[in-house]
Structure 1
Amino acid sequence: MLIEKLPKTKILINKKRLMKHFAELSQIGLNHTTGGIDRQLGSIGDKNARIWLKRIWKNEMHLNIYIDPIANLWGSYSRHLENKPIVFGSHHDSVADGGKYDGAMGVIIAMEVIQTIKENHIIMRHPLEIVSFTGEEPNSYLVSTLGSKVLCGRLNKDDIFKLSDKNTGQLLSKTIDLLGGNSQKIDSARLDKKLMTAFLEFHIEQGRCLFNQQQSVAAVTCITGIYREIITVIGEANHAGTTHLENRKDALCAAAQLCLDIENIMNECSHLAITVGKLKVKPGAASVIPGRVILTIDMRTVYPAEKEKALVLLQKIVTKISQVRGVRIERKINLDQLEMPMDSNVINAMADAFVKNEQPVIKMVSMAGHDAANMARLTKAGMLFAQSVDGYSHCPREYTAPKDIVIAAQVYLDTLLILDKELE
């Protein structure tokens, strides 16, 4: 335990300033009809949030600001120190009509931690770098955790130049340039594994685990793997009125059975989530029996054995439905992202900070993807979760109580101070 190495007089974050900054950022991209947030990648909300962040970081926090080629926004403090920096932050973008807390609170807490360290004249061994990542959320360019994927080398310039907005056709490269990045130099944004000491991210849980336990914070031990398939059910289009039951090869009915059987996989694999999230029916006419249905499945688990078991069950389901309903079912993998454990040093530092703040040491997995999973490819990475009331997220009802935000911010600060003293 490293608690005794911290300052004997406890350094406290500024609750009023923390919530003030959060309230200000929550007005940017606010949907006044629903109460949700619209700060999708490249939107007006995204651009205005960046303007606000840069203003606060420069004029109030007096940080050195840098925008990298993929348009991640960076702010540095004590850059002159010889040790490699500790990097921390999250993202400011949102899904369409999303919540105020997702990502944004991670940036706000990181800001508060730097301000607290500066105004208390705490001597740090490591430089501090705050980051707000570009395009963490799923968006109309069909890519998520964009900024951190480029940093760790999972995406390069060629990949970026192939992507465009599915609604407007605008090239992602142009959007990056409009956000202050430099699409021609995207490959230079990739970071070397030797450039950081650690990475720390705060995020609301987005689930019910902490809420059900009525606890404030938890340390994340692993970020889920994500596996996705595009499944095409091929039946036979025919007249809706004149085709008798025994002659039908209805692709939609077969797909409906498939959806229900896929849901049932979770009864066989208790540590796994699987969802059919998108479905397209062709030809899509009221008077025509559907001849083709295209659907997507999203499967998440931190346990590889559970994933393999689920895939075996899925193939059995596909085979049975094909035979019983006389349809053909084609499967295509379009994502197979492995689970990513968080670093034990960072987890232990959080555990020490929990004890220091009289919080129970709770550890849990994340079933949502995060930038920390990409940053873990570059350095020692960790995540701190705070309670989401009723488990709501990616919607206007998303909410984390101020008391839990304050506890999380204090734990975050103490974790950072422990890491600064512990890590070389």
Structure 2
Amino acid sequence: MTPSAAAGPEARAPSGPTVAALAAQQRAPRPDALTLARLHAADVEGFVRLLDGIYEHSPWIAERAAARRPFASLAALHRALVEVVREAGEDVQRTLIRAHPELAGKAMVARTLTAESTHEQGRAGLSDCTPEEFATLQRLNADYNATFGFPFILAVRGPRGDGLHRTRIIETFARRLQATPEAEFAECLRQIHRIAGIRLAERFDQPPLAGRGVWDRAEALAAHSEPPWAERGELTATYLSDAHRAAAQDLLRWMREDGFDEVGLDAVGNVVGVYRADPAVAAPRRLLTGSHYDTVRNAGKYDGRLGILVPMALVGALHRAGLRLPFDLEVVGFAEEEGQRYQATFLGSGALVGAFDPAWLEQRDAQGVTMREAMHAAGLPGTREAIAALARDPARYLGFVEVHIEQGPVLDDLDLPLGVVSSINGSARYLGRYVGVASHAGTTPMDRRRDAAAAAAELLLAAERRAGADADSVATVGLLTVPGGSLNVVPGRCDFSLDLRAPTDAQRDAMVTDVLAGAQAIAARRRVQLTLERTLLAAAAPSDAALCGRWAQAVQALGLPVFRLPSGAGHDAMKLHERLPQAMLFVRGGNAGISHNPLETVSDADVELCLQAFAWLLDGLAHDLLPVPAGR
């Protein structure tokens, strides 16, 4: 998969009130700040001099990037520098990594660090290490160099740009020592690009203030967690728990502060805010956006919540600037998407499309509390009628758009901050069982065995091969169990799961047909019995072409290449797809894109770009509907 620049219909979108409102929040840069105009006017030598220190002791990067001028934005300049490094080859990349100093190493002690590294390591407190911390870092440096052959690289300014604490740096150092050489090589390069991005923002005096504000709100929401996770500093907020309800109250309060005209909690606990259209527009339609604020257990801080906080920040910018759009903007924090407390996944978004199953009200959680009882305790009506009334009229809506952390490694691997989602994969899930004959491991000849576990293992590999033959199909055997198994017994039974996903229903169904036929053939050849029960069949949700095109226009307007990818995970957009056109934008997740995990992370800079892309989408849509009167 290779990112490419958009062309043809994906031309630069028109800017408008939302872009202007977001830009107004950025303070004026220092008089001595570098500008793109100065870079474009410089000769190659001057260009390299102006970017000196952005990449540590590596002027060749700026020299090669000079030929790629002009740059549409600071993000485009950063991308050009990234591409130069990506194209340089492994030997040159390894030299770049080795040009960086160790953390709290000999260069820091000898005061021979570059000015940029001195500032960064000092800001992280590495110059104030205790003797114990310094000794730990020296040991880690030695172990790391012995393992990988290059220094440990970490953007010690962190995802918010204001500096990681020493203990966090040491924890990250120890964790990454367990990585493979290939993974760590790639991670070091990604960290180098993050360092360069921070240095560019400072050189141009363009701090990601709006992105930082969203990041801070995500951090504040994460303070609400359930016991015993809260006591361990971990995040868990399942449907209608105290932590979940506290998060909802924060969202309601922030929506009021941001200037939403209507703010409230609906009958299933969704947080709903509406920013009304320009009063000059008669019978305006609505654009729906949002994501979920419940979490899995021991979660990350950005899954779902980013998709609520980003449009909220844009409404805040519009409100402060006194600007309106020619359509209502409805932002919904969906109360439930993860299916953690009750087996009722997409409860929040499902209610908006009339897909709430009344039988869910009688479900009990692990403590025996029914959903209806939980709703009553939270002050919600808990009635079929109240929930049925939440269904939206599609005729009133322009569609649904959602921003979401990728929850995968693709964008991180490509050093891309944003990706346009082409489709949310359809899936089919099965629980299966092979039954053979349990027999003595020492006395049963290989050609006489009826090994159930071997059959399941063969199926796992066959499913892997079949999915790999398609573009973007995936197959997973996540559960593999030999009940009552013993070290010296040929397995007589093996239970397994099968999860098959693809961007279209036709592609998924073809894969399902082939994998199930293969499962039967394995059973016949190995003389075991097979049973399979389908537990889920979810339709794919291809992105609406027009809305997807608007996301592409927005990304291109930022000077970034447009990269399309499917979503292997389910999202609220998948549910809204049943009634409304939908399209999603992914934001890169750090730490190789890990999600549903405390290591889940995004940077303030990437969130800033997400805000800008969303602003471009809103203004492009506004431009095509109706010009907004000046001054409103």
Pick the TM interval, shorter chain: 0.7 to 0.9
Match of 1:67 in 2: 265
**Kept after mapping to 2: 8 A contact 1:92/1:133:** yes
- 1:171-186 equivalence runs, <5 A: 171-184=370-383, 185=385, 186=387
Aligned Cα RMSD in Å? Answer: 3.0
The equivalent residue for 1:413 is: 615
Q: Does 1:392 align with 2:594?
A: yes
Alpha-carbon distance in structure 2 between the residues aligned to 1:151 and 1:279: 37
Decide whether the 8 Å contact of 2:260 with 2:315 is kept in 1. Answer: no
Distance 1:224 1:403, change over 3 A: same
Decide which structure has greater helix share: 2
Asked if 1:163 corresponds to 2:375, the answer is no
The answer on whether the counterparts of 1:302 and 1:365 sit within 8 Å (CA) in structure 2 is yes
* CA deviation map 1:321-374 (0-9, x unaligned): 322333211112222112111222222222332233222222222121111122
Output the amino acid matched with 1:75.
Answer: G
Q: Which of 430, 441, 448 is 1:229 aligned to?
A: 430
Aligned match for 2:274, one of 76, 97, 107: 76
- Which segment is superposed worse, 346-355 or 78-87? 78-87
Give 1:271's aligned residue.
472
> In the alignment, what sits opposite 1:315?
516
The structure, 1 or 2, with the larger RCO (C-alpha pairs under 8 Å, 6+ apart) is: 1
| 1:200-211 equivalences in 2 (<5 Å) | 200-211=401-412
Within 2, Cα distance between the matches of 1:5 and 1:407? 15
Poorly superposed stretches of 4+, deviation over 6 Å: 239-243, 284-289
Taking every aligned residue pair, what percent have the same amino acid on both sides? 25
1:8-157 matches, within 5 Å, as 10-12=20-22, 14-29=210-225, 31=229, 36-59=234-257, 61=259, 63-78=261-276, 82-157=283-358
Counterpart amino acid of residue 40 in structure 1: T
Superposed CA deviations along residues 188-243 of structure 1, whole A, max 9, x for unmatched, are: 2222222322222110111222212211112212111111112122345x577898
Aligned residue for 1:300, secondary structure, equals strand
In structure 2, how many angstroms separate the alpha carbons of the residues matched to 1:180 and 1:72? 13
Contact residue 354 and residue 361 of structure 1 kept, 8 A? yes
Does 2:414 correspond to 1:404?
no
Please tell me whether the aligned partners of residues 401 and 584 of structure 2 are also in contact (alpha carbons under 8 angstroms): yes
1:3 partnered with 2:13: yes
Give, in whole Å, the separation in 2 of the partners of 1:61 and 1:293. Answer: 57
The residue type paired with residue 175 of structure 1 is A
Describe the SS at the equivalent of 1:358.
coil
Q: How far did 1:285 drift?
A: 7.6
* Aligned-residue offset at 1:306: 3.1
What is the deviation of 1:8? Answer: 11
Please give the alpha-carbon distance, in whole angstroms, between the structure 2 residues aligned to 1:269 and 1:25.
40
User: Unaligned 5+ residue runs, structure 2?
Assistant: 1-10, 26-209, 627-632
C-alpha distance in structure 2 between counterparts of 1:7 and 1:42, whole Å: 37
Query: Does the CA contact (< 8 Å) of 1:67 and 1:180 recur in 2?
Result: no
Counterpart residue number, 2:541: 340
Please report how far the alpha carbon of residue 294 of structure 1 lies from its aligned counterpart in structure 2 after TM superposition: 3.3
**Is the contact made by 2:18 and 2:618 (CA closer than 8 Å) also made in structure 1?**
no
Deviation per CA, 1:65-109, whole angstroms, max 9, x where unpaired? 222222211112227762122121111111111211111111111
Tell me the alpha carbon deviations over residues 106-153 of structure 1, each in whole angstroms, 9 at most, x when there is no partner. Answer: 111121011011111112211221101121124242332221123223
> Is the CA contact (8 Å cut-off) linking 1:258 and 1:321 kept in structure 2?
yes
2:556 is aligned to 355
Q: Shift in Å at residue 34 of structure 1?
A: 6.7
Q: Distance in 2 between matches of 1:72 and 1:109?
A: 17
Q: What letter corresponds to residue 18 of structure 1 in structure 2? A: V
2:211, 2:607 within 8 Å by CA — same for their partners in 1?
Answer: no
Amino acid at match of 1:19: W
The answer (yes or no) to whether the contact 1:279–1:294 under 8 Å persists in 2 is: yes
TM value normalised by structure 1 = 0.88
The aligned amino acid for 2:306 is M
C-alpha deviation, 1:280, in angstroms? 4.9
Change (3 A) 1:308 1:71: same
1:156–1:187 contact (8 Å) kept in structure 2: no
Kindly indicate whether the alpha-carbon contact (under 8 Å) linking 1:36 and 1:395 is maintained by their aligned counterparts in 2. Answer: no
Pair 1:154–1:62, CA change in 2 (3 A): closer
Q: Return the TM-score normalized by structure 2.
A: 0.61
Indicate the larger mover: 412-421 or 401-410. 412-421
| Matching residue's letter, 2:369 | Q
SS state of the match for residue 396, structure 1? coil
Would the alpha carbon gap of residues 315 and 78 (structure 1) be closer, same or farther in structure 2, given more than 3 Å must change? closer
Which residue of structure 1 aligns with residue 127 of structure 2?
A: none
Shift of 1:54: 1.9
**Contact 1:151-1:191 at 8 Å conserved across structures:** yes
- SS of the aligned residue for 1:349 comes to helix
In 2, are the aligned partners of 1:98 and 1:396 still within 8 Å (CA)? yes
Tell me which amino acid in the other structure corresponds to 1:6: G
User: Following the alignment from structure 2 to structure 1, what is the Cα–Cα distance between the partners of residues 310 and 18?
Assistant: 23
Q: Distance in 2 between matches of 1:91 and 1:291?
A: 43
**Which letter maps to 2:215?**
M
Rounded Cα–Cα distance in structure 1 between residues aligned with 2:472 and 2:557: 32
CA deviations on 1:244-275 (whole Å, 9 max, x unpaired) are 46776454443333333333333333431111
TM-superposed deviation, 1:59? 4.8
Q: Distance in 1 between matches of 2:269 and 2:15?
A: 37
Letter aligned with residue 422 of structure 1? D
Uncovered stretches (5+) of structure 1, i.e. residues with no partner:
none
Give the letter aligned to residue 64 of structure 1: E
* SS state at 1:262 partner: helix
2:307, 2:273 → 1: CA distance?
Answer: 14
